Amino acid sequence: MADHYEVLGVARDASADQIKKAYRRLARELHPDVNPNPEASDQFKLVTHAYDVLSDPQQRQQYDIGPQPGFGGAGGAGFGGFGDIFETFFGGGQQSRGPRSRRERGQDALVRVEMDLDEVVFGATRDIEVNTAVLCETCDGSCCAPGTSPATCDICHGSGQIQRAVRSLLGNVMTSSPCGTCRGYGTVIPHPCPTCQGQGRVRAARTLSVDIPAGVDTGLRLQMPSQGEVGPAGGPQGDLYLEIKVRHHDTFSRNGDDLLATLEVQMTDAILGATSVLKTLDGDITIEVKPGTQSAEVITIKDRGITHLRGSGRGDLKIGIQVVTPTKLNHKEQNLIKELSKSQKNVPPHLAQFQQGLFSKLRDRFHA
């Protein structure tokens, strides 16, 4: 190994200013931006390393003494230094860690999907457009321009780590940190791929055909493994999550797996009975209003609700009755109502009792 003093061209008793001046002179001559000669580049690295050691009083003292055995030694090139013992017991150092991989797992992606209520009842197949990172087709994830490959880092020599001597109460300790030139990868990309700029992935839109099961509800997230972002350097894909939002329906609302609807009935139909046709999500059904039907009564149609997300079968369709009282009557109609009122054995007004309201009755019967 070249002597640091000889590399800088100074005497062993040179002052700190003399060492600094020698380094600056050589750096101006050998810097790669000034001197493109490969040999000059190698020499510049030696000069820089020599200056790093000799400009630090502690490192210079240890260098002048040379490697010493035992705990107080320099812990540099030889064995027996504290750095070696520390690494032996605690697993530190360059050899145990090694360079890290450029390939990393991609991030998860989230897409929100709006659905109609009929799609929720029966399930649906949807084409979902996803804009995520995908594998670069030019370099196939290698990050390099076609015909090129990564090069070993000439600073850490492929280890991805830089070792430095740090003074402590127990002497010099060798520590390792990621190489700043290659960022711990151990390799550099001399010629990055022009398509992805050396990332190994590009952002692009793609279309996925997704089978959404019946029974989903607003806020539910469906996981699609390995359909998310491609990782750096063509790393494995993350997951894709579909977040469901169910659109409002003008006729039906939902309570668990039951569908709820309200049927308005004229007073005369409630008294005499009638039939009505309701357009449901899977066809028309005939609703029979029995004579004497009261407001807040609920008619239940079995197995015409939401399909169970887990398990088989469906919920029920529950129809709440609301009797509509006419507000405008002609003279003849008023007389007929009066005659009807006289024929009924009603409770006198002063004996009438308050009862649970319509909305409370509907709520309790819907949720029963």
> Do 226 and 285 fall into the same domain?
no
CATH number at residue 325: 2.60.260.20
> In the predicted model, is pLDDT for residue 199 greater than 70?
yes
> Do 199 and 304 fall into the same domain?
no
> Do 218 and 325 fall into the same domain?
no
> Do 237 and 316 fall into the same domain?
no
Which residue type does 314 have? R
Query: Among 25-34, 155-164, 292-301, which stretch is predicted with the lowest mean pLDDT?
Result: 25-34
Q: Which of 265, 328, 326 is nearest to 298 (CA)?
A: 265
> Do 272 and 317 fall into the same domain?
yes
For residue 207, the enclosing domain spans 109-138+193-246
Tally Cβ neighbours within 10 Å of residue 314. Answer: 20
Q: Which residue has the higher pLDDT, 292 or 169?
A: 292
Residue 136 annotated in ligand binding: yes
**% residues pLDDT > 70 (the chain):** 82
Confidence of residue 84 (pLDDT cuts 50, 70, 90): very low
Residue 153 annotated in ligand binding: yes
> Do 315 and 341 fall into the same domain?
yes
DSSP string, 138-155: TTTTS-BPTT---EE-TT
278 contacts 284 by C-beta, under 8 angstroms:
yes
> Do 115 and 240 fall into the same domain?
yes
> Do 265 and 242 fall into the same domain?
no
Residue 143 annotated in ligand binding: no
Residue 88 forms part of a structural domain: no
- Examine the fold and report which residue of 209, 231, 246 is the final residue of a domain before the chain moves on: 246
Residue 144 annotated in ligand binding: no
| pLDDT value, residue 352 | 41
User: How many domains does the chain fold into?
Assistant: 2
> In the predicted model, is pLDDT for residue 351 greater than 70?
no
> In the predicted model, is pLDDT for residue 89 greater than 50?
no
Average pLDDT over residues 107-124: 94
- Examine the fold and report which residue of 246, 266, 281 is the final residue of a domain before the chain moves on: 246
> In the predicted model, is pLDDT for residue 133 greater than 50?
yes
> Do 122 and 198 fall into the same domain?
yes
> Do 329 and 210 fall into the same domain?
no
| pLDDT value, residue 77 | 34
Residue 20 forms part of a structural domain: no
- Partners of 261 in the beta sheet? 319
186 contacts 158 by C-beta, under 8 angstroms:
yes
> Do 214 and 125 fall into the same domain?
yes
Residue 139 annotated in ligand binding: yes
> In the predicted model, is pLDDT for residue 76 greater than 90?
no
> In the predicted model, is pLDDT for residue 70 greater than 60?
no
Eight-class DSSP state of 214: T
